[in-house]
Amino acid sequence: MSRLVVAGIGPASSVQDGGRHGAQRYGLTVSGAMDRLSLAAANALVGNEPFAAAVEIGPFGAAFTARDGAVRVAISGAPRNADVAGNPVAMDTSLTLKDGETLTLGFARGGAFTYLAIEGAIKGEAVFGSLAVNARAGLGSPYPRPLQAGDEFSVDAASGAGELRIELPKPPSGPIRVVLGPQDDEFDDANKALFLDSEWKISATSDRMGYRLEGPAIKHLHGHNIVSDGTVNGSIQVPGNGAPIALMMDRGTSGGYPKIATVITADVGRLAQTSAGTAFRFRAVGMAEAQDEARKFAQLIRNLPDRLRSADSVALNIEALSDANVAGYAVSAVDAGTWQVTAEP
């Protein structure tokens, strides 16, 4: 066995996988990766199952050091500057860290979440089939909380397989697609139109539980209280102040505000990767289109291994990598105390 040691990590980073299914009826949240496609891509690069447990790295930087042998990893998701000992590393590629080498990731440049998959996957004790961290319920493995510097994973020694890159389709850039309902009849046509025609921004106070949306206030037809009913990933509820909240992976399993619309499965990850402050719109689609997109999205994930190529077959595009600063170790502009690089204990 090798070890992968968290040499430094910002807040909002945790172990995530495909989520915890089967106990929502008991109030147990699904959790799991905010961007399932990027999780699956990172896993494909190191030969794991699509929804194997990996590190979900929040918007801030992170660094990982291999110990007791080589460790093979891959990164996908929100783009970042990444390097090993000053040598740039591309997104959507696998790489093998030799014993003692450190992979350093800068801040997300657009997007929010980057996934670090480890060959053989993160090992731990599954609850309802999942290692996903749900900090509120004290669930997740091997650490039932956000990751901290000094945490480490016992991992398979690198297999020595050739390094791979993955060619992902360009993500759609249009509006985030929704299906209206289940409580769109709690809003009149003018307010539904206001929701669909307005520009929205994600508030900086958003987290894995919900994304608060900044824009015009949406008014209810009969007040904002409904008798609590079930929620899904991507439910967009409108509380009393009229500011919609898109429920994300750590959502409560039930809620008592009317839900005007639901983000389609294929676009939940795109919404998750929309940076705070970036303007976007919603577009309503019919059920047939939404389900067709859901099936295509599932197929895309299933067929990710077909998109793998040898990393040697293209030269690394160093210019593209260096067109933004390679930040390396950096200090959070939000809270300097939250970002610390410590030596391995």
Binding site for other proteins (CB under 8 A): 21-29, 127, 136-139, 179-183, 226-235, 252-254, 259, 262-265, 287-288, 290-291, 293-295, 298
Three-state SS for the chain is CEEEEEEEECCCCEEECCCCCCCHHHCCCCCCCCCHHHHHHHHHHCCCCCCCCEEEECCCCEEEEEECCCEEEEEEECCEEEEECCEECCCCEEEEECCCCEEEEEEECCCCCEEEEECCCCCCCCECCECCCEHHHCECCCCCCCCCCCCEEEECCCCCCCCEEECCCCCCCCCEEEEECCCHHHCCHHHHHHHHHCCEEECCCCCCCEEEEECCCCCCCCCCCCCCEECCCCEEECCCCCCCEEECCCCCCEECCCEEEEECHHHHHHHHCCCCCCCECEEECCHHHHHHHHHHHHHHHHCHHHHEEEHHHCCCCHHHHCCCCCCCCCCCCCCHHHCCECCCC
Residue 261: CB minimum distance to other proteins, A: 9
d(CA 112, CA 59): 5
Measured from the CB of residue 316, what is the shortest distance to other proteins in angstroms? 37
Residue 62 C-beta: closest distance to other proteins, Å = 28
Cβ proximity to other proteins, 295 vs 309, nearer residue? 295
Cβ distance to other proteins smaller for residue 102 or 253: 253
Alpha-carbon distance of 302 to 166, in angstroms, equals 14
Shortest Å distance, C-beta 189 to other proteins: 18
Q: Of 95 and 263, which CB lies nearer to other proteins in the complex structure?
A: 263
218 alpha-carbon distance from chain centroid: 28
Rounded to a whole number of angstroms, the minimum distance from the CB of residue 140 to other proteins is 11
Q: Which is nearer to other proteins, 27 or 305 (CB)?
A: 27
Q: Token pair for residue 198?
A: 């307005």
User: Minimum distance from CB of 299 to other proteins (Å)?
Assistant: 8
Nearer to other proteins, 150 or 171 (CB): 171
**Which has the closest alpha carbon to 72: 54, 96, 55, 91?**
96
Take residue 232 and report the two structure tokens written for it: 């899904």
Give me the least distance between CB of 300 and other proteins, in Å please. Answer: 12
What are φ and ψ of residue 136, in 5° steps? -60, -40
CB nearer other proteins, residue 52 or residue 247: 247
The nearest distance, CB 53 to other proteins, in angstroms, is: 18
Whose Cβ is closer to other proteins: residue 142's or residue 328's? Answer: 142
Nearest CB to other proteins, comparing residues 69 and 252: 252
Asked if 238 and 212 touch (Cβ cutoff 8 Å), the reply is: no
106/234 with CB nearer other proteins? 234
Q: Supply the minimum distance, in Å, between the C-beta of residue 185 and other proteins.
A: 9
